[in-house]
Amino acid sequence: MNYTITEITRQLKAERESKGLSQRALSKLAGVPQGHISKIENGTVDLRLSSLIELARVLGLEFTLVPRKTLPAIKSIVQSHKSQSARNSQVHASQELPSAESVRPAYSLDDDHD
């Protein structure tokens, strides 16, 4: 398998895992047999274009041919998007967790319990 296919299958697997999907769950969503997904991710089967397009779309990716000279700009945009998404996730998670100051015990040792 050449580098391009290896990189595509690596990205598909990474995206599946980042979404918390098992191969079985992805199989149901994409209509591609789980065993075929396993073979694709392990590089033991030639990836059919129709399977690639369906797997990509289910994972929120789009398969597009672009001029090679635009790849640096596209990669920069994708990396910027990933970085922004990671920052947004961190901010969202920190907003959901209460601060230590806002969490008050039901009682304290100083309370009078006679």
Q: Where are the domains of the chain?
A: 1-64, 66-96
Q: Looking at residue 112, what DSSP letter applies?
A: -
Q: Superfamily assignment of 1-64 in CATH? A: lambda repressor-like DNA-binding domains (1.10.260.40)
Q: Which residues lie closer than 8 Å to 47 by C-beta, 6 or more apart?
A: 5, 8, 9, 40
* Cα end-to-end distance, the chain, whole Å: 76
Contact by Cβ (8 Å): 54, 32 = yes
Query: How many CB atoms within 10 Å of residue 28?
Result: 12
DSSP 3-state of 27: helix
pLDDT tens figures, 4-40: 788 889 999 999 999 999 999 999 999 999 999 999 9
Query: Please, which pLDDT band fits residue 84 given cuts at 50, 70 and 90?
Result: confident
